[in-house]
Amino acid sequence: MPDWAALLTEQQNPASEQIDEVSTLEMLTIINGEDQLVPLAVSKELPHIAQAVELVSHAFGQGGRLFYLGAGTSGRLGILDASECPPTFRVPHEQVQGLIAGGKSAVFSAVEGAEDDPKGAVGQLQEQRLSDLDIVMGIAASGVTPYVLGGLDHARSVGCSTIFFTCSPGKTLPSVDIQIAPRVGPEVLTGSTRLKAGTATKLVLNMITTGAMIRCGKTYGNLMVDLHPSNKKLIDRSQRILSTLTDLELEEAQQVLSQAAGDLKIALVISLCDVSPDRARALLSAHRGSVKKAISGSATP
């Protein structure tokens, strides 16, 4: 049984002890001041986050998947990050997945007690048929969530690489490949980890998947060239990116995208290398989907 009172996330914040007695503006100033501490805390964990990015990008290159495990806010943030990867980077929905204590219904309504079951994640992970190519990342602001710790134990038994995120570092942290533990300090409302800890979680998950996708060739500079044009905004963005990188007029860009069946990366290689759609696909395939490498490779006999 953990010593809950000793957890950093359970400590009382002296900056907000009188938060119910001040004006609304003063209240928000206190909250905002505490929020500004979060990026600084996360910055101190950048070496560990970089290790996570390298681990995840390597796994993706080998056909592996990334699974987030979390309860409550942590679980929902994992699901949020996972759900945004397919439309942003045109990856399969199964490549990044978020699992939450209590199952899908817990995304919208809290399932009380689900986080206390150390076997709760085991069945969920078994359904995914984990292999040693996969990575499981546990997210537990408190650092002691049984659902998360039990899931990490199972992942290690399968041979998966493991990452652990917490905002309450201490001696009881699990044995994993990479630990990310920003010290964001006590919450404005004692124990309410949807606040600073939740913000830190979102920042870190953003960096891990974005960094891994960049390493996997999903961007050209800071442009998302592997997006899935599933709505009018993204169709327009694809046309504008192609036009920007090739100097084509928007109408011409639309025509090239049509030749490429809407695939922006193929359209870019067609335009920049002056090759057929089939040749563009072959070049991208030979260079693991990297547009810049495919362009360089096109000059090789």
- Active-site pick, 10, 54, 84, 252: 84
Distance, in Å, from the CA atom of 79 to the CA atom of 66, rounded to the nearest integer, reads 11
Pairing of strands 135-139, 219-220: unpaired
Q: How far is CA 68 from CA 21, 82, 136, 152, 208, in A?
A: 39, 8, 6, 10, 12
Sign of CA dihedral 114, 119, 121, 123: negative
- Active-site pick, 34, 45, 115, 187: 115
Q: Are 198 and 31 in contact (CB under 8 A)?
A: no
Q: Are 69 and 130 in contact (CB under 8 A)?
A: no
Catalytic residue list contains 17 = no
Catalytic residue list contains 94 = no
Q: Are 207 and 47 in contact (CB under 8 A)?
A: no
Q: Are 173 and 197 in contact (CB under 8 A)?
A: no
Distance, in Å, from the CA atom of 17 to the CA atom of 109, rounded to the nearest integer, reads 30
Provide the H-helix boundaries in the chain: 24-35, 37-43, 46-61, 73-89, 120-127, 146-158, 196-215, 232-246, 250-259, 264-273, 277-286, 291-297
Task: Tell me which amino acid residue 242 is.
Answer: L
Distance, in Å, from the CA atom of 227 to the CA atom of 225, rounded to the nearest integer, reads 6
Catalytic residue positions, numbered: 84, 115
